[in-house]
Amino acid sequence: GSLNHSITFYNTTAGQHMNTIKFHEGFMGTRIPPVACLSFHPNRVVIAAGCIDNTITAYGPEIRR
């Protein structure tokens, strides 16, 4: 998370912005709290964000909320 409550992805090789996750979508939508850790799935396009409020959220194209 950042000061604007988002998670941003960059291609560090090319120095290009790839994507930004701005908030949780849906009925219980909230801002993303400060992120304490990130983990990428080794075989799928999924990332998990662990936040300082003790929540873990998974993001990916097949994640259904």
Task: Please report the sign of the dihedral spanned by the C-alpha atoms of residue 46, residue 48, residue 49, residue 55.
Answer: positive
pLDDT score of 28:
61
Would you say residue 63 has pLDDT above 70? Answer: no
pLDDT exceeds cutoff 60 at 65: no
Expressed as residue numbers, the domain containing 52 is 7-59
Structural domain includes residue 65? no
Classify residue 64: in a domain, yes or no.
no
38-57 pLDDT per residue, tens: 999 999 989 998 988 898 88
Mean pLDDT of 1-30: 77
As for how many domains the chain has, the answer is 1
Is 32:1 a contact under the CB 8 Å cutoff?
yes
pTM for this model (two decimals)? 0.66
Q: What is the mean pLDDT of residues 19-38?
A: 74
Domain presence at residue 52: yes
* Mean pLDDT score of the chain: 81
